């Protein structure tokens, strides 16, 4: 009765929240299984950013509820963004749901499951279902425990929750609430613990990490709380690499640009969400910058690190985006020359300002624009990988590659590397001599001189 399977949809933040739920359930005596068929309880941690993500989870829940026919004790729960976004409407649509838990209540999951199970065993009144969607002050501080996977090399660390921006297309401020930061010391303690358990790389997470603590903690020596946090983490022994996602272009002031020059562990890979490369569309999206300002940021970062890697989020087919607007956007996208990008077809989100904007773009046209950007990305990404032929790249060895008997790891620029290695090299930084490059991966041999084995 205590085997739980958690399925996660969406972003890294969701993966991190699921880890927290798994860790707290394990502490409570539940066992976490990695196959839904072996589970007595299935929890879906959901995403609301685009309609497709919601439909997938709804479809899955519809399929899983059939398990109740064979096993009346089977429990099904929905957590996270879709739970928050759709609330009790979900119960109307899926009356078999036992548990609906919002984004500020992940830490309550063990209590709720205990209650459901006790009542099933006749030890309490049987709640038909539990719905827990309230806001909770301090809930950002509850995402802090790790499962402690053996040999874990890289870990996510949640530093803040919520977003106060109002991008016209985005549901996140509704699903995740207002910005709330964790204290610097608590984050530093968490990362120190991870380093002691062998983690070498941390990725700091938040919906808008560059706004971290901006209203709670002071600017010190011209440095924002986010940059202060980066500096403290850079000082932690054992941590070799720092990454973060997702920032906002607005957060790239001189202090953050200089952090790339001054903090050796901060990897030279910047995810800088563009959304559109046309000022008219940016304005309609309520994004507070122009493409000229964006280019200035890119140039200032390339000035401190000439080979800086860039990735982005961009939306095609935002309402009112004409062909000329799109061409302008595509041209700008090409001009930056991204190493990586997430291209999204605009998806209507109920309750956002863009929902009611005129001139929605037909699906086929969104499809076409999507393909145009993917083709541009393919070229620039391949060009970058080919430029690395013959160079030596530092790689953090993660483990066996999915296929074959090779190993995999990432360069500082977040390129995937594939090479021969063995288990003893997992978690180590090695030098890879690149001798083959495709759009997605770099191949070569690692230099073993100087590596601990």
| Contact indicator for 344, 312 with CB cutoff of 8 Å | no
Give yes or no for residue 344 binding ligand SAH (CB under 6 A): yes
Rounded to 10 degrees, the C-alpha dihedral 370/372/375/381 comes to -70
One symbol per residue from 195 to 234: x for binding ligand SAH (CB under 6 A), - otherwise; what is it? ------------xx--------------------------
For residue 53, state whether it binds ligand F3S (rule: CB under 6 A).
no
**Interface with ligand SAH includes 313 (CB under 6 A)?**
yes
Q: Which of 273, 277, 413, 444 binds ligand SAH (CB under 6 A)?
A: 273
Report how far residue 403's alpha carbon sits from residue 413's, in angstroms, rounded to the nearest whole number: 23
CA–CA distances in Å: residue 29 to residues 2, 19, 296: 8, 15, 53
Closest CA to 293 of 305, 283, 284, 306: 283
Provide the 8-state DSSP code for 278. S
Kindly report the backbone phi and psi dihedral angles of residue 437, in degrees, each rounded to the nearest multiple of 5, phi listed first.
-140, 135
Q: Is 341 in the site for ligand SAH (CB under 6 A)?
A: no
Residue 117 tokens read as 């199970």
Which position among 172, 341, 434, 446 is part of the footprint of ligand SAH (CB under 6 A)? 172
Q: Report the residue number, 203 or 300, with the smaller CB distance to ligand SAH.
A: 203
Q: Does 84 bind ligand F3S (CB under 6 A)?
A: no
Give the DSSP letter string of 12-53. HHHHHHHHHHHHHHHHTT-EE-S-GGG-SEEEEEE--SSHHH
Task: Tell me whether residue 139 or residue 347 sits nearer to ligand SAH (CB atom).
Answer: 347
Residue 248 near ligand F3S by CB under 6 A: yes
Q: Is the dihedral of CA 278, 280, 281, 283 positive or negative?
A: positive
Which stretch in 136-144, 190-198, 340-348, 360-368 sits in contact with ligand SAH by CB under 6 A? 340-348
Residues 162 to 181: which contact ligand F3S by CB under 6 A?
163, 165, 167, 170, 172-173
Rounded Cα distance, 161 and 13, in Å: 9
Residue range at the interface with ligand SAH (CB under 6 A); choices 124-132, 214-222, 345-353, 385-393: 345-353
> How far separated are the first and last CA of the chain, in Å rounded?
43
Site string for ligand SAH, 42-81 (x = CB under 6 A): -------xx-------------------------------
Written as six digits, the tokens of 448 are 């073993």
User: DSSP assignment, residue 275?
Assistant: B
Binding partner at 24 among ligand SAH, ligand F3S, none, C-beta below 5 to 8 Å by kind: none
- Give the residue with the Cβ less far from ligand F3S, 101 or 172: 172
Sign, Cα dihedral of 370, 372, 375, 381: negative
Residues that bind ligand SAH (CB under 6 A): 11, 13, 49-50, 169-170, 172, 207-208, 246, 273, 275, 313, 315, 344, 346-347, 349
Residues that bind ligand F3S (CB under 6 A): 163, 165, 167, 170, 172-173, 207-208, 248
């Amino acid at each position: 009765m205590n085997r739980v399977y958690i399925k996660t949809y969406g972003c890294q933040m969701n993966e991190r929240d699921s880890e927290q739920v798994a860790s707290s359930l394990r502490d409570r005596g539940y066992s976490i299984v990695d196959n839904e068929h072996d589970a007595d309880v299935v929890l879906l941690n959901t995403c609301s950013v685009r309609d497709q993500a919601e439909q997938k989870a709804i479809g899955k829940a519809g399929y899983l509820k059939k398990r109740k026919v064979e096993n009346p004790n089977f429990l099904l729960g929905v957590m996270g963004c879709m739970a928050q976004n759709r609330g009790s409407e979900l119960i109307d649509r899926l009356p078999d749901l036992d548990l609906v838990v919002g984004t500020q209540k992940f830490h309550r999951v063990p209590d709720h499951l205990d209650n459901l199970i006790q009542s099933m065993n006749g030890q309490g009144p049987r709640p038909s279902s539990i719905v827990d969607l309230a806001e909770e002050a301090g809930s950002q501080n509850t995402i802090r425990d790790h499962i402690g996977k053996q040999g874990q090399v890289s870990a996510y660390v949640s530093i803040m929750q919520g977003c106060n921006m109002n991008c016209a297309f985005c549901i996140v401020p509704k699903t995740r609430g207002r910005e709330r930061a964790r204290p610097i010391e608590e984050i530093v303690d968490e990362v120190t613990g991870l380093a002691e358990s062998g983690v070498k790389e941390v990725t700091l997470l938040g919906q808008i990490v560059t706004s971290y603590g901006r209203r709670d903690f002071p600017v010190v020596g011209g440095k924002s709380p986010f940059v202060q946090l980066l500096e403290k983490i850079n000082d932690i022994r054992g941590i070799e690499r720092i990454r973060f996602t997702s920032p906002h272009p607005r957060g790239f002031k001189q202090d953050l640009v200089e952090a790339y020059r001054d903090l050796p562990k901060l990897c030279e890979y910047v995810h800088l969400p563009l959304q559109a490369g046309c000022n008219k569309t940016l304005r309609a999206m309520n994004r507070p910058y122009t493409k000229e300002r964006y280019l200035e940021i890119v140039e200032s970062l390339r000035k401190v690190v000439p080979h800086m890697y860039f990735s982005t989020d961009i939306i095609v087919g935002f309402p009112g985006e004409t062909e000329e607007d799109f061409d302008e956007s595509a041209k700008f996208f090409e001009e930056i020359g991204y190493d990586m990008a997430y291209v999204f077809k605009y998806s209507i989100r109920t309750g956002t300002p863009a929902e009611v904007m005129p001139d929605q773009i037909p699906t086929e046209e969104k499809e076409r624009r999507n393909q145009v950007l993917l083709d541009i990305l393919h070229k620039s990404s391949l060009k970058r990988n080919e430029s690395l032929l013959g160079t030596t790249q530092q790689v953090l060895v993660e483990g066996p590659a999915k296929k074959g008997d090779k190993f995999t790891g990432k360069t500082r620029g977040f390129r995937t590397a594939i090479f021969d290695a063995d288990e003893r090299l997992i978690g180590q930084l090695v030098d890879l001599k690149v001798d083959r490059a495709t759009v997605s991966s770099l191949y070569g041999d690692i230099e073993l001189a100087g590596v601990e084995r």
